[in-house]
């Protein structure tokens, strides 16, 4: 079965927001997506100026009216022009190659679980080439229940991994830096 995923990509910050997943996109569903993303207090498009989209028939008159009423300028792309929305095309390629093509998804719920996990990985753990190899929004330090720092964090059953090297104490830092050879600290073992 094929599922449609509606997502919004803020070009300047590279922030991705997955707005919805469905196997049967219709006008009513798209209108609800438009309402959700243009909400004044928490909508992802509430502070934007432009909405660049392709000419898919899913963006019908009711969807366009809600976007226009929110004060956004719609910029429909010319037909057959994938290079004009290269950032969105690259995100689709990345999510397919790095996550979705490596998973066996059994229905819409599995896809709805996998996409936010991948988005969190992209935002909080993965450096981006277009931003000077910096993580967009680094996650707070992840610490285990017993206080030891984590060395590896896995998402989607280990498919996506993030390695962090955090110093728990000065002896750990010295061992990692190679300034002392003592590995007797329990935190570095």
- Mind giving me the DSSP string for 121-184? HHHHT-EEGGGTSEESSPPPPPB-TTSPBPSEEEEGGGTEEEE----SSHHHHHHHHTS-----
Residue 129, pLDDT > 80, answer no
179 pLDDT band, cuts 50/70/90, is very low
For 67, the domain range is 4-135
Pair 45, 101 in one domain:
yes
How many domains does the chain fold into?
2
Q: What angle do CA 36, 114, 122 make, to 5 degrees?
A: 80
Pair 43, 79 in one domain:
yes
Pair 61, 146 in one domain:
no
- Copy the structure tokens of residue 159: 């498919």
Pair 154, 185 in one domain:
yes
Q: Looking at residue 50, which CATH number applies to its domain?
A: 3.30.420.10
Pair 119, 145 in one domain:
no
Contact (CB, 8 A) for 117 and 160? yes
pLDDT at 46: 72
Listed residues 90, 114, 135: the one ending a domain:
135
Listed residues 118, 135, 152: the one ending a domain:
135
Pair 124, 77 in one domain:
yes
User: For all residues of the chain together, what is the average pLDDT?
Assistant: 78
The residue whose two tokens read 């679980």 is 113
Pair 87, 151 in one domain:
no
pLDDT at 163: 60
The least confident of 23-32, 69-78, 120-129 is 120-129
Pair 100, 182 in one domain:
no
42 Cβ contact list (under 8 Å, min separation 6): none
Answer whether 0.75 is exceeded by the pTM: no
Query: What pLDDT digit, counting tens, does each position of 144-166 carry?
Result: 455 555 567 778 877 787 666 55
Pair 59, 108 in one domain:
yes
Pair 107, 122 in one domain:
yes
Pair 20, 112 in one domain:
yes
User: For residue 89, how many C-alpha atoms fall within 13 Å in the half-sphere facing its CB?
Assistant: 8
Rounded alpha-carbon distances, angstroms, from residue 37 to 18, 95, 149:
10, 21, 37
Query: What pLDDT digit, counting tens, does each position of 40-96 carry?
Result: 777 888 766 899 998 888 999 999 999 999 999 999 999 888 788 888 999 999 999
Pair 126, 168 in one domain:
no
């Amino acid at each position: 079965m094929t599922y449609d995923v509606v997502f919004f990509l803020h070009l300047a910050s590279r922030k991705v927001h997955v707005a919805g997943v469905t196997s049967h996109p219709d006008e009513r569903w798209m209108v609800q997506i438009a309402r959700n993303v243009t909400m004044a207090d928490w909508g992802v498009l509430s502070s934007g100026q432009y909405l660049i989209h392709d000419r898919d028939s899913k963006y019908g008159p009711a969807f366009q009216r809600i976007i226009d009423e929110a004060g956004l300028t719609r910029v429909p792309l010319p037909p057959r022009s994938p290079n004009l929305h290269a950032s969105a095309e690259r995100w689709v390629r990345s999510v397919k190659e790095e996550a979705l093509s490596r998973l066996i998804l059994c229905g819409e719920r599995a896809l709805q679980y996998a996409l936010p996990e991948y988005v969190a990985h992209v935002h909080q753990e993965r450096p981006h080439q277009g931003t000077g190899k910096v993580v967009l929004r680094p996650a707070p330090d992840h610490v285990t229940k017993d206080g030891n720092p984590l060395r590896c964090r896995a998402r989607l059953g280990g498919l996506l991994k993030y390695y962090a090297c955090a110093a728990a104490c000065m002896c750990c830092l010295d061992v990692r830096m190679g300034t002392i050879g003592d590995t007797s600290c329990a935190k570095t073992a």
